[in-house]
Structure 1
């Protein structure tokens, strides 16, 4: 049966898609129509540790069999799934991956523990996290979360990290709420009353609404701290010793991200084939539209996809310190490098 969007959601969808089209136009002439050379005779294996399973929002990492972005740069790509940014970093640090697709909070926490890491590409410069509750719960501001049961994707996910940011805005600690692991994109516990609120992402909320979630209050974390949602992180040893390979990967990733911005309909169709949650191309298109918006910012429009705003990231590190989420200062200029980014 064909899914019909609620009129208000349809209007929001059109707005998002129009904005995505604008973002495409702002990518710049260097990314307007990337040409690909014939792939090398031999490919070097390269493993990405993801924060999630192979889902629609990372379609550009899943379609190399069809599109060949990474093969064109001499890379045989493999994706290792995870359950949160902390998982991605664990897979990186245990040698199961060459690079981690992780969130700033997990990155800061690992640095605090003494891990030698370096962030080299800003995947989503926009904060896409939120906390969602049903209208009847009267949860309208962070202070209203006190004493509530709140769902997160996993204890190692950005949903938990960003929930803690919201709690601290109201002077609350993690111990002031009950955190419940509900799984990825799972609003059923909220709809069934098992939790009072759920920490999620914009795409998770979109899918929840498609599945019947209605009449909700949404607190956007970006209204309190608009820091990047995800970045590529490598071990310091890898950064120092494998710069040519990392440059190849980042160039291929940027090509794939630019393609998904330019060709969201094609990406949505391929997600049906490659993403575990991609059965409905129309929903895929909505999810991809949101991720495309999260991939661009004033900084990326000036310096190219993947460019960091170091001032914003430093503010995030300082905020995490002030809120007690990390216990020592982090100087981001010492753990973030942009020298491997492709030229804009």
Structure 2
């Protein structure tokens, strides 16, 4: 059943901790002991979605396919996490995972709640988030959403949408949010249960595969904000051994992302091999379109970045200023205090030509080999509101 949310409805001083066994307990901030293995016995990355069966984590699966994670000396683990959108930071904070993948809004939630985390690798250089509308009902003037309803898959996503709207001049106190559930919030929009729904790059193509064909206000074209990032405990950066491991781990991710850029269809193949359900849900053409949408977000303006994962501190500061103005955080946040490019040079220190050769050498199945990448690239934004 959908639940109605009000602006500012997220709890900021306590959170629900979900144990590996599925036990949920209310935890007061500051009361969690931190005792982490040194060095890592296993390194766990946790998703914000409650599932890994998506195309978005292609950098890992491509890197794994090509052996880039093989020499780290410890087991590297990918976990879906609970569907609660804030679990990706909670689990890192209490030591149940080592790296999370929050949206900027969920990251700000973590900071506001005293979680000593830092963004170490900025995955989403452009704003991946968008608003989906039924065909013929879209708008590029988001102020028209005042008095209307936006559907979310998780209540936590309100912290994503509020700053996205506010930076466009929307009075978010006049917007109603409805939690329509994962993965059914898009279906709820199609059924007329709201006026718009949160979406993101990559998901647009996946939704087409399931018959959800909307039009979109695209943040990747119109928003000054940024997208999801990889966060770790600040204490791990200060530990020499863990710091060194983080750099090697992020280097493997960078190599996987670079290989995916050099051969997007091979990256799709890597995900499809890992998750046949993703292959059957998307198919080769929409799977490749999803990959191209994601790559556009992840690369951003690479000519002006220091490589994969580089933080644009000015863009991050714009975001933090906006959430402070909204009251999502009670104290101003300085981007350089919570985002770091300390790992970026090491993460991008690899043989780019060898990675390119590795990527191009991947043998594609016939259906993926038949996909016209150039044609899809030319139609990347054909769902945008005109």
TM-score (ref. length: structure 1):
0.79
DSSP-derived class of the 1:234 partner = strand
Q: For the aligned residues, what is the CA RMSD?
A: 2.4
Could you tell me which residue of structure 2 aligns to residue 282 of structure 1? Answer: 285
1:46 and 2:47 equivalent?
no
Q: For the residues of structure 1 that align with 2:307 and 2:175, how far apart are their CA atoms?
A: 42
Say how many residue pairs are matched.
299
Aligned 8 A contact 1:44 1:74 in 2: no
Task: Please report how far the alpha carbon of residue 109 of structure 1 lies from its aligned counterpart in structure 2 after TM superposition.
Answer: 1.8
- 2:123–2:228: 8 Å Cα contact kept in structure 1? yes
Query: 1:227 deviation in Å?
Result: 2.3
Distance change (3 Å), C-alpha of 1:103 and 1:66: same
Residues of 2 paired with 1:64 and 1:221: CA distance? 28
Which residue number in structure 1 is paired with residue 128 of structure 2? 128
Structure-2 residue corresponding to 1:304: 307
- CA–CA separation in structure 2 for the residues paired with 1:96 and 1:124: 24
- Within-5 A mapping of 1:24-173: 45-52=42-49, 53-54=51-52, 55-62=54-61, 66-82=65-81, 83=83, 85-137=85-137, 141-157=141-157, 160-168=158-166, 169-173=168-172
Say which of 239, 262, 268 aligns to 2:237: 239
Whether the 8 Å CA contact 2:43–2:77 is kept in 1: the answer is yes
2:227 counterpart residue number: 229
Whole-angstrom distance in 2 between the partners of 1:51 and 1:300 = 29
Question: Residue 166 and residue 244 in structure 1: after superposition, are their counterparts in 2 closer, same or farther (change >3 A)?
Answer: closer
Superposed displacement of residue 182, structure 1: 3.2
Correspondence 1:10-21 to 2 at 5 A: none
CA distance in structure 1 between the partners assigned to 2:202 and 2:236 by the alignment? 32
Listed as ranges, the gaps of 5+ residues in structure 1 are 1-42
Matched, 1:325 2:333: no
State the Cα distance separating 1:257 from its structure 2 match.
1.0
Does the CA contact (< 8 Å) of 2:152 and 2:185 recur in 1?
no
C-alpha displacement of 1:298 = 2.9
In the TM superposition, what is the alpha-carbon distance from 1:63 to its structure 2 partner? 5.1
Aligned to 1:291, which of 285, 289, 294? 294
